[in-house]
């Protein structure tokens, strides 16, 4: 398999603007769950940039459980992401939900995210296998690691070798947290694949209080990076406020990570 260590000895380093994910450093992706307004996005982008984030995240097309929940700003949101990149210099990542929107995302953003719910949308995976942009592939709610790696293989097999794997929690019997963070996935994926592995403790836990301690664990276990949700006013967030850090908490988290001996 193209994802395997046998196929490639060195770690893959994914490049997006000035950011590098995989290899020597530890990359931090931060930003709101959803793009909500120009003010919201630019303010958050500036604050996470000042705190040391390497990539800005923000959803413009949101995979919501209820059709009556906020669905995202769509193309307007993509334009705001491009604006926030201009304001901060941070490369941006956003989720692709429908192949029809792929040309638009290719124009506006630096990294294309395939969300947990589309991890086995094989036709979508084939399409992003043909593009010349990095893909951030999230593990599904019920995806075994064998299956997750084969989803990555779909993208690699199309000729796109810029794939980032993201553990974001899986569904188990435990309901105290939104999902159960599978930290052992990092060890297994790093052993079996040269692709960069990052972890999203925000969606894994659903609670802002658990994000910092688990982020420290993510660095300690040897992941290549982190994806964290940050909102200036979490109580007003249109999506995932309960798991969002304020910029101040995010800045504290970055300080904690920097102080760890394994920080690189
Ligand atoms: C997200 O990152 O905004 C998201 C919807 O995550 P997931 O696909 O992991 O649920
Ligand atoms: Mn979210």
Distance 9 CA to ligand 1 centre (A): 30
- Ligand lying closest to the C-alpha of residue 57: 1
CA-nearest residue, atom 4 of ligand 1? 115
pLDDT in tens, 199-239: 999 999 999 999 999 999 999 999 999 999 999 999 999 99
180-to-22, 137, 141, 168, 255 alpha-carbon distances in Å: 24, 18, 10, 8, 26
The terminus-to-terminus CA distance of the chain in angstroms comes to: 29
Enumerate residues with CB within 5 Å of ligand 2 (an ion): 33, 240
Which residues have a Cβ under 8 Å from the Cβ of 191 and sit 6 or more positions away? 5
Is the shortest distance between the CB of 138 and ligand 1 below 6 Å? yes
- Can you tell me which atom of ligand 1 is nearest the CA of 240? 3
- Can you tell me which atom of ligand 1 is nearest the CA of 138? 9
Mean per-residue pLDDT pooled into runs of 10, the chain (264 residues): 97 98 97 98 98 98 98 98 98 98 98 98 98 98 98 98 98 98 98 98 98 98 98 98 98 98 88
How many other C-beta atoms are found inside a 10 Å radius of the C-beta of residue 34? 27
Distance 10 CA to ligand 2 centre (A): 32
pLDDT of residue 147: 98
Q: With CA atoms as reference, report the closest residue to 136 among 114, 154, 153, 119.
A: 114
* Residue 236 to residue 92: CA distance in whole angstroms: 23
* Residue 229 to residue 203: CA distance in whole angstroms: 8
Is the shortest distance between the CB of 33 and ligand 1 below 6 Å? yes
Is the shortest distance between the CB of 91 and ligand 1 below 6 Å? no
* Residue 257 to residue 218: CA distance in whole angstroms: 10
pLDDT of residue 35: 98
Q: With CA atoms as reference, report the closest residue to 199 among 209, 187, 207, 191.
A: 187
Distance 34 CA to ligand 2 centre (A): 7
Q: Tokens for 163, please give them.
A: 């794939």
- Domain boundaries 14-259, corresponding CATH code: 3.20.20.70
The residues that bridge with 113 in the sheet, in sequence order, are: 95, 136
pLDDT in tens, 119-152: 999 999 999 999 999 999 999 999 999 999 999 9
CB 152 within 8 A of CB 165: yes
pLDDT of residue 119: 98
Is the shortest distance between the CB of 14 and ligand 1 below 6 Å? no
Is the shortest distance between the CB of 231 and ligand 1 below 6 Å? no
Is the shortest distance between the CB of 239 and ligand 1 below 6 Å? no
SS (H, E, C) 11-42: CCCEEECCEEECCCCCEEEEECCECCCHHHHH
Cα of 45 vs its chain's centroid, Å: 15
pLDDT of residue 195: 98
Q: pTM here?
A: 0.98
Is the shortest distance between the CB of 178 and ligand 1 below 6 Å? no
- Ligand lying closest to the C-alpha of residue 63: 1
DSSP 8-class letter at 85: H
pLDDT of residue 239: 98
Is the shortest distance between the CB of 139 and ligand 1 below 6 Å? no
Query: Could you give the ipTM of this predicted complex?
Result: 0.99
pLDDT of residue 264: 85
Distance 33 CA to ligand 2 centre (A): 4
- Can you tell me which atom of ligand 1 is nearest the CA of 115? 8
The residues that bridge with 136 in the sheet, in sequence order, are: 113, 164
Residue 259 half-sphere exposure, CB side, CA atoms within 13 Å? Answer: 7
């Amino acid at each position: 398999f193209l994802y395997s260590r046998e196929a490639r000895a060195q770690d893959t380093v994914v490049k997006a603007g000035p950011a590098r994910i995989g290899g020597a450093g530890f990359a931090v992706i931060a930003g709101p769950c959803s793009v909500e307004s120009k003010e919201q996005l630019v303010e958050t982008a500036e604050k996470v940039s000042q705190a040391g984030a390497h990539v800005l995240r923000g959803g413009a097309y949101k995979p919501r459980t209820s059709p009556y929940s906020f669905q995202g700003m769509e193309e307007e949101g993509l334009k705001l992401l491009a604006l926030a990149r201009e304001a901060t210099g941070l490369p941006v990542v956003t989720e692709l939900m429908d192949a029809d929107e792929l040309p638009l995302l290719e124009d506006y953003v630096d990294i294309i995210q395939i969300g947990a719910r589309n991890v086995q949308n094989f036709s979508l995976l084939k399409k992003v296998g043909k593009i010349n942009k990095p893909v951030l592939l999230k593990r599904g709610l019920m995806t075994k690691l064998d299956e997750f790696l084969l989803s990555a293989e779909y993208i690699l097999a199309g000729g796109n070798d810029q794939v980032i794997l993201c553990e974001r929690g899986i569904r188990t019997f435990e309901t105290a947290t939104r999902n159960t963070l599978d930290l052992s996935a990092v060890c297994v994926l790093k052993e079996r694949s040269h692709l960069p592995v990052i972890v999203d403790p925000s969606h894994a836990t659903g609670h802002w209080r658990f994000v910092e301690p688990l982020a420290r664990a993510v660095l300690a276990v040897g992941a290549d990076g982190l994806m964290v949700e940050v909102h200036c006013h979490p109580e007003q967030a249109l999506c995932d406020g309960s798991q969002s850090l304020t910029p101040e908490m995010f800045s504290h988290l970055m300080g904690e990570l920097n102080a760890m001996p394994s920080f690189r």
